[in-house]
Amino acid sequence: MFTPRKTAAAVLCLALAATASFAANPDVGGAPMFTDKNIVENAVNSADHTTLVAAVQAAGLVDALMSAGPFTVFAPVNDAFAALPAGTVDTLLQPENKGQLTKILTAHVIAGDLSAQALKTKAANSADGFAHVETLSGDALSAQVRGNNIFIFDENGNAAKITIADVKQSNGVIHVVDKVLLPK
Protein backbone atom coordinates (compact mmCIF):
# COMPACT_ATOMS: atom_id res chain seq x y z
CA MET A 1 0.00 0.00 0.00
CA PHE A 2 1.38 3.41 -0.97
CA THR A 3 1.18 6.12 1.60
CA PRO A 4 2.20 9.72 1.00
CA ARG A 5 5.06 9.25 3.45
CA LYS A 6 6.43 6.14 1.66
CA THR A 7 5.98 7.79 -1.75
CA ALA A 8 7.86 10.92 -0.64
CA ALA A 9 10.68 8.78 0.76
CA ALA A 10 10.89 6.84 -2.51
CA VAL A 11 11.05 10.07 -4.52
CA LEU A 12 13.77 11.41 -2.23
CA CYS A 13 15.79 8.19 -2.64
CA LEU A 14 15.48 8.39 -6.44
CA ALA A 15 16.51 12.05 -6.40
CA LEU A 16 19.56 11.29 -4.25
CA ALA A 17 20.54 8.40 -6.53
CA ALA A 18 20.22 10.62 -9.60
CA THR A 19 22.33 13.34 -7.97
CA ALA A 20 25.00 10.81 -7.04
CA SER A 21 25.20 9.55 -10.59
CA PHE A 22 25.65 13.09 -11.94
CA ALA A 23 28.38 13.80 -9.40
CA ALA A 24 30.35 10.71 -10.40
CA ASN A 25 33.82 11.14 -11.86
CA PRO A 26 34.16 10.72 -15.60
CA ASP A 27 35.82 7.59 -16.93
CA VAL A 28 39.34 8.18 -18.25
CA GLY A 29 40.98 5.87 -20.75
CA GLY A 30 38.05 3.49 -20.49
CA ALA A 31 38.41 3.10 -16.73
CA PRO A 32 36.41 4.50 -13.84
CA MET A 33 38.22 7.05 -11.70
CA PHE A 34 37.52 6.75 -7.98
CA THR A 35 37.53 9.72 -5.61
CA ASP A 36 38.83 7.53 -2.79
CA LYS A 37 41.96 6.57 -4.79
CA ASN A 38 44.98 8.77 -5.30
CA ILE A 39 46.37 10.11 -8.58
CA VAL A 40 48.67 7.15 -9.22
CA GLU A 41 46.12 4.50 -8.22
CA ASN A 42 43.65 5.91 -10.74
CA ALA A 43 46.15 6.70 -13.52
CA VAL A 44 47.45 3.13 -13.73
CA ASN A 45 43.97 2.02 -14.84
CA SER A 46 43.68 4.50 -17.72
CA ALA A 47 44.53 2.98 -21.10
CA ASP A 48 45.18 6.55 -22.33
CA HIS A 49 47.91 7.23 -19.76
CA THR A 50 50.30 4.27 -19.99
CA THR A 51 53.16 6.47 -21.22
CA LEU A 52 52.57 8.99 -18.43
CA VAL A 53 52.54 6.21 -15.82
CA ALA A 54 55.78 4.75 -17.22
CA ALA A 55 57.37 8.20 -17.15
CA VAL A 56 56.23 8.85 -13.55
CA GLN A 57 57.75 5.50 -12.55
CA ALA A 58 61.02 6.19 -14.40
CA ALA A 59 61.29 9.63 -12.78
CA GLY A 60 60.73 8.18 -9.31
CA LEU A 61 57.64 10.35 -8.71
CA VAL A 62 55.20 7.60 -7.72
CA ASP A 63 55.53 8.17 -3.96
CA ALA A 64 55.24 11.94 -4.34
CA LEU A 65 52.02 11.65 -6.38
CA MET A 66 50.62 9.15 -3.90
CA SER A 67 51.19 11.54 -0.98
CA ALA A 68 48.45 13.63 0.62
CA GLY A 69 48.82 16.60 -1.73
CA PRO A 70 46.60 18.11 -2.82
CA PHE A 71 47.85 18.34 -6.39
CA THR A 72 46.41 19.49 -9.68
CA VAL A 73 47.82 17.40 -12.52
CA PHE A 74 47.54 18.22 -16.22
CA ALA A 75 47.81 14.63 -17.48
CA PRO A 76 48.91 14.21 -21.12
CA VAL A 77 47.45 11.26 -22.99
CA ASN A 78 49.57 8.71 -24.85
CA ASP A 79 48.94 10.50 -28.18
CA ALA A 80 50.43 13.68 -26.69
CA PHE A 81 53.67 11.87 -25.94
CA ALA A 82 53.59 10.18 -29.36
CA ALA A 83 53.38 13.63 -31.00
CA LEU A 84 56.79 14.59 -29.58
CA PRO A 85 59.71 14.24 -32.01
CA ALA A 86 60.65 10.62 -32.75
CA GLY A 87 62.75 9.05 -30.00
CA THR A 88 62.04 11.75 -27.41
CA VAL A 89 60.10 9.55 -25.01
CA ASP A 90 62.59 6.67 -25.26
CA THR A 91 65.45 9.09 -24.58
CA LEU A 92 63.68 10.67 -21.60
CA LEU A 93 62.97 7.25 -20.06
CA GLN A 94 66.68 6.39 -19.92
CA PRO A 95 68.15 6.59 -16.39
CA GLU A 96 70.72 9.23 -17.36
CA ASN A 97 67.88 11.61 -18.31
CA LYS A 98 65.93 11.26 -15.07
CA GLY A 99 66.49 14.91 -14.12
CA GLN A 100 65.10 16.22 -17.40
CA LEU A 101 62.16 13.82 -17.25
CA THR A 102 61.40 14.88 -13.67
CA LYS A 103 61.44 18.55 -14.68
CA ILE A 104 59.03 17.92 -17.56
CA LEU A 105 56.64 15.87 -15.44
CA THR A 106 56.63 18.27 -12.50
CA ALA A 107 55.92 21.08 -14.99
CA HIS A 108 52.47 19.42 -15.28
CA VAL A 109 51.74 19.54 -11.53
CA ILE A 110 50.52 22.40 -9.34
CA ALA A 111 50.35 22.37 -5.56
CA GLY A 112 46.69 22.64 -4.56
CA ASP A 113 43.36 21.52 -5.93
CA LEU A 114 42.38 23.74 -8.88
CA SER A 115 39.08 22.90 -10.53
CA ALA A 116 38.24 23.95 -14.08
CA GLN A 117 35.90 26.56 -12.62
CA ALA A 118 38.70 27.95 -10.44
CA LEU A 119 40.92 28.26 -13.52
CA LYS A 120 38.10 30.00 -15.42
CA THR A 121 37.49 32.40 -12.54
CA LYS A 122 41.20 33.22 -12.17
CA ALA A 123 41.44 33.88 -15.91
CA ALA A 124 38.29 36.03 -15.96
CA ASN A 125 39.55 38.12 -13.03
CA SER A 126 43.04 38.71 -14.43
CA ALA A 127 44.10 41.76 -16.41
CA ASP A 128 45.34 39.69 -19.35
CA GLY A 129 42.65 36.97 -19.45
CA PHE A 130 45.01 34.23 -18.28
CA ALA A 131 45.16 32.33 -15.01
CA HIS A 132 48.87 32.21 -14.15
CA VAL A 133 50.11 29.37 -11.94
CA GLU A 134 53.48 28.04 -10.81
CA THR A 135 54.24 24.34 -11.17
CA LEU A 136 56.16 22.10 -8.79
CA SER A 137 59.16 22.42 -11.14
CA GLY A 138 59.10 26.19 -10.62
CA ASP A 139 57.94 26.78 -14.17
CA ALA A 140 54.92 28.82 -15.23
CA LEU A 141 51.69 27.69 -16.84
CA SER A 142 48.86 29.93 -17.99
CA ALA A 143 45.23 28.93 -18.52
CA GLN A 144 42.98 30.68 -20.99
CA VAL A 145 39.30 30.12 -21.69
CA ARG A 146 38.27 30.00 -25.34
CA GLY A 147 34.56 29.39 -25.75
CA ASN A 148 33.75 26.29 -23.70
CA ASN A 149 37.37 25.09 -23.68
CA ILE A 150 40.30 25.70 -21.36
CA PHE A 151 43.78 25.77 -22.83
CA ILE A 152 46.94 25.45 -20.77
CA PHE A 153 50.01 27.25 -22.14
CA ASP A 154 53.57 26.30 -21.27
CA GLU A 155 56.47 28.78 -21.13
CA ASN A 156 57.16 28.21 -24.83
CA GLY A 157 53.67 29.33 -25.83
CA ASN A 158 52.49 25.81 -26.72
CA ALA A 159 48.87 25.12 -25.82
CA ALA A 160 47.29 21.93 -24.50
CA LYS A 161 43.51 21.63 -24.45
CA ILE A 162 41.83 20.18 -21.38
CA THR A 163 39.80 17.33 -22.84
CA ILE A 164 38.47 15.92 -19.56
CA ALA A 165 38.27 18.28 -16.60
CA ASP A 166 37.80 17.82 -12.89
CA VAL A 167 38.64 14.15 -12.41
CA LYS A 168 38.61 14.15 -8.63
CA GLN A 169 41.20 12.11 -6.69
CA SER A 170 41.72 11.53 -2.97
CA ASN A 171 44.78 13.80 -3.18
CA GLY A 172 43.72 16.37 -5.75
CA VAL A 173 42.35 16.63 -9.26
CA ILE A 174 43.41 15.58 -12.75
CA HIS A 175 42.68 17.48 -15.94
CA VAL A 176 43.40 15.35 -19.03
CA VAL A 177 45.27 17.31 -21.72
CA ASP A 178 46.03 16.61 -25.36
CA LYS A 179 49.63 17.90 -25.45
CA VAL A 180 52.82 17.59 -23.40
CA LEU A 181 53.70 20.88 -21.69
CA LEU A 182 57.40 21.65 -21.92
CA PRO A 183 59.37 23.95 -19.62
CA LYS A 184 62.04 26.27 -21.08
Tens digit of each residue's pLDDT (9 = 90 or more) over 22-36: 457 888 988 889 999
Contact 151, 160 (CB under 8 A): yes
- Global pTM value: 0.85
Distance (Å, rounded) from C-alpha 122 to C-alpha 130?
Answer: 7
Going by DSSP bridges, is the β-strand pair 172-177/71-76 parallel, antiparallel, or unpaired? parallel
pLDDT for position 25: 87
pLDDT for position 24: 79
Q: Does domain 26-177 have CATH number 3.30.110.70?
A: no
Contact 48, 164 (CB under 8 A): no
Tens digit of each residue's pLDDT (9 = 90 or more) over 162-176: 999 999 999 999 999
In the DSSP assignment, the letter for residue 25 is: P
Q: Which of 50, 39, 100 is nearest to 73 (CA)?
A: 39
Distance (Å, rounded) from C-alpha 111 to C-alpha 158?
Answer: 22
pLDDT for position 12: 37
Tens digit of each residue's pLDDT (9 = 90 or more) over 118-161: 999 999 999 999 999 999 999 999 999 999 999 999 999 999 99
Residue 118, C-beta contacts closer than 8 angstroms, at least 6 positions apart: none
What percent of the chain clears pLDDT 70, i.e. is strictly above it? 88
Contact 73, 46 (CB under 8 A): no
Q: Is the pLDDT of residue 21 over 70?
A: no
pLDDT for position 23: 54
Q: Is the pLDDT of residue 183 over 80?
A: yes
Q: In residues, how long is the chain?
A: 184
Q: Is the pLDDT of residue 96 over 70?
A: yes
Kindly state the average pLDDT of the residues 76-100.
Answer: 93
Distance (Å, rounded) from C-alpha 159 to C-alpha 105?
Answer: 16
Domain ranges in the chain?
A: 26-177
